[in-house]
Amino acid sequence: DAGITQSPRYKITETGRQVTLMCHQTWSHSYMFWYRQDLGHGLRLIYYSAAADITDKGEVPDGYVVSRSKTENFPLTLESATRSQTSVYFCASSESGSVSPLHFGNGTRLTVT
Amino acid sequence: SQQGEEDPQALSIQEGENATMNCSYKTSINNLQWYRQNSGRGLVHLILIRSNEREKHSGRLRVTLDTSKKSSSLLITASRAADTASYFCATDASGGSYIPTFGRGTSLIVHP
């Protein structure tokens, strides 16, 4: 089915562990984004990618790493998870950045204990 | 920092009434988009309005853009209980940036 999928849907991990959140889209959109959503902050941009092998920092990139070796995948890695990274993470894709609509996954709820 | 901010933070109305939400932003934009988020789900695109447009319609939704005031409004007419959701605006920054950033959203509750 065409769409954008995130996995896992829920994740609990311990402080200091490495965690990777997956994002896969089937449209071959050029742009992909990672946002985190926290109460009182709305959505904040972590990283984005304009094409395969091109990534750039957003508003809150510290503690996160991304890669985009294939157009359809955009994994987000927390190298050493901290409690402040407890959040809901959303992946999105679009054809042309803000010139076209973003399509969002259903999110990953991450809890760091 | 976030470019756009929605106002009010929360809105509670009765079914059948109109709901108006506003978005103000700081710097000039290329495009502005509105999204809806139902509880526990991802955001869903509603309308995209370009900086050279002043108004767009989609069903019961009407979006206006005033670039001189750096603001936009989303009007939902004849609201329904199913319109209960959070609404977000997303703006980019003109000058070559086509990366959307979001505000904190407006939480709309429509009472049956």
Chain segment B51-62, per-residue pLDDT in tens: 999 999 999 999
Q: Determine the pLDDT at residue B109.
A: 98
Pairing of strands B71-76, B61-66: antiparallel
Residue A1: count of CB within 10 angstroms of its CB: 4
Q: Between chains, do A43 and B41 touch, taking CB under 8 Å as contact?
A: no
pLDDT of residue B1: 53
Q: Is the pLDDT of residue B97 over 80?
A: no
Q: Chain A to chain B, count of Cβ pairs less than 8 Å apart?
A: 70
Measured between CA atoms, how close is A3 to chain B, in angstroms? 12
Tell me how far apart the alpha carbons of residues A58 and A110 are, in angstroms, rounded to a whole number: 20
- DSSP readout, B13-48? EETTS-EEEEEEESS--SEEEEEEE-TTS-EEEEEE
Q: Is the pLDDT of residue B32 over 70?
A: yes
Residue B100 touches partner A, C-beta closer than 8 Å: yes
